[in-house]
């Protein structure tokens, strides 16, 4: 608790200093990072060493004229086999340690994102992706995190490019794939690629893990609010609220925020005020506005939920 408490406070402190967070961190050069992070084959030299050793042993063994000399070569070769095994053991230990360190770093980035420590996450991603990663799986995970950071800094085109690269390389399992497709659809909506977003949503309706999910419902509600179909948005909201509540946790506040906007578009201020109060109860208004700029129009018109003084 102590460490994470301090980390949360440090993140909040840093973000106060970086109030102008929308300033784009230009150092995240997507094409360069996609190229430099490609895993490189390692340990290929071992096969050559083994073949060379076998060849040397055979020639040395066959060229000895006496039985004693052959015996000596045999014993030396046996010892060399075990020295080689020892060397392999040391190298595999070093490789495993490197792999663990890389995995820990990438898991650390995931934690930074959860804690909303965006600048630190961006810096670490820049470092990690600037060199070849050890496995395709770790690279895929790092690229997913990169797309989250890019979306956070409103670089949606870059985020979509990263999503497409991950999809092209077929790097994810089914569960992670559904999540990526949802993020991509959301990024398309933010970038006003409405036709592509609509197609992506149709694809998601047929994707196992995404079809019928609360996250897909949220994307659909956002599309309907964005394209001026508040009735459809509210219909989805009412139908899918139990699933969104169960699957999205506190992010169900986003759904209430979008529902508030839909009620507002339909000129139903009482329901809009109630939905907005619920939305602001579940999370900070600033975060919600960053995700859905369309909600700016509600700020000041409807009252936020009252939070305890320590949190205000």
Instruction: Name the region of 116 (left: φ>0; alpha: ψ -120 to 50; beta: rest).
Output: left
Nearer to another protein, 211 or 306 (CB): 306
In the complex, minimum distance from the CB of residue 71 to another protein, in angstroms, rounded to a whole number: 4
Residue 242 burial by Cβ neighbours in a 10 Å radius (0-12, 13-18, 19+)? exposed
In the complex, minimum distance from the CB of residue 290 to another protein, in angstroms, rounded to a whole number: 16
By the 8 A CB rule, do 167 and 176 touch?
no
Nearer to another protein, 29 or 274 (CB): 274
In the complex, minimum distance from the CB of residue 45 to another protein, in angstroms, rounded to a whole number: 18
SS3 299: strand
Residue 139 burial by Cβ neighbours in a 10 Å radius (0-12, 13-18, 19+)? buried
In the complex, minimum distance from the CB of residue 5 to another protein, in angstroms, rounded to a whole number: 4
Rounding to the nearest 10 degrees, give the CA dihedral for residues 84, 87, 93, 99: -90
Nearer to another protein, 9 or 32 (CB): 9
Nearer to another protein, 4 or 27 (CB): 4
Which residues here bind another protein, judged by CB under 8 A? 1, 3-5, 8-9, 61, 67-68, 70-71, 73-75, 77-79, 81-82, 85, 107, 111, 114-115, 173, 175, 245-250, 252-253, 256, 278, 281-283, 305-311
Which residues lie closer than 8 Å to 5 by C-beta, 6 or more apart?
none
Extract the tokens encoding 285. 């208004």
In the complex, minimum distance from the CB of residue 228 to another protein, in angstroms, rounded to a whole number: 27
Nearer to another protein, 111 or 203 (CB): 111
Nearer to another protein, 100 or 199 (CB): 100
Distance CA 137, CA 114 (A): 20
In the complex, minimum distance from the CB of residue 197 to another protein, in angstroms, rounded to a whole number: 27
């Amino acid at each position: 608790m102590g460490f994470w408490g301090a980390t949360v406070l440090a993140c909040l402190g840093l973000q106060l200093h970086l109030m102008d967070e929308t300033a784009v961190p230009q150092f995240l050069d997507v094409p360069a990072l996609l190229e430099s992070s490609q895993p490189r084959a390692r340990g290929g030299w071992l096969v050559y060493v083994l073949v060379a050793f076998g060849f040397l042993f055979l020639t040395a063994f066959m060229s000895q004229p006496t039985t004693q000399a052959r015996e000596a070569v045999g014993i030396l070769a046996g010892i060399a086999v075990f020295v080689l095994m020892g060397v392999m053991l040391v190298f595999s230990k070093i490789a495993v340690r490197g792999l663990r360190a890389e995995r820990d770093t990438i898991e650390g980035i995931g934690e930074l994102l959860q804690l909303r420590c965006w600048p630190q996450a961006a810096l670490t991603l820049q470092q990690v992706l600037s060199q070849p990663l050890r496995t395709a799986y770790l690279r895929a995970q790092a690229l997913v995190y990169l797309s989250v950071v890019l979306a956070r800094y409103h670089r949606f085109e870059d985020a979509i490019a990263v999503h497409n690269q991950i999809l092209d390389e077929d790097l994810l399992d089914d569960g992670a794939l559904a999540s990526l497709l949802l993020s991509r659809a959301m990024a398309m909506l933010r970038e006003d690629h409405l036709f592509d977003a609509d197609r992506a949503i149709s694809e998601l309706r047929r994707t196992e893990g995404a079809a019928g999910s609360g996250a897909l419902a949220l994307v659909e509600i956002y599309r309907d609010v964005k394209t001026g179909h508040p009735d459809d948005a509210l219909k989805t909201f009412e139908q899918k609220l139990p699933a969104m509540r169960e699957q999205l946790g506190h992010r169900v506040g986003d759904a209430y925020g979008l529902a508030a906007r839909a009620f507002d578009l339909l000129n139903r201020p009482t329901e809009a005020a109630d939905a907005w109060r619920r939305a602001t109860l579940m999370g900070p208004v600033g975060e919600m506005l960053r995700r859905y700029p369309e909600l700016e129009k509600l700020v000041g018109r409807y009252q936020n939920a009252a939070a305890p003084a320590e949190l205000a």
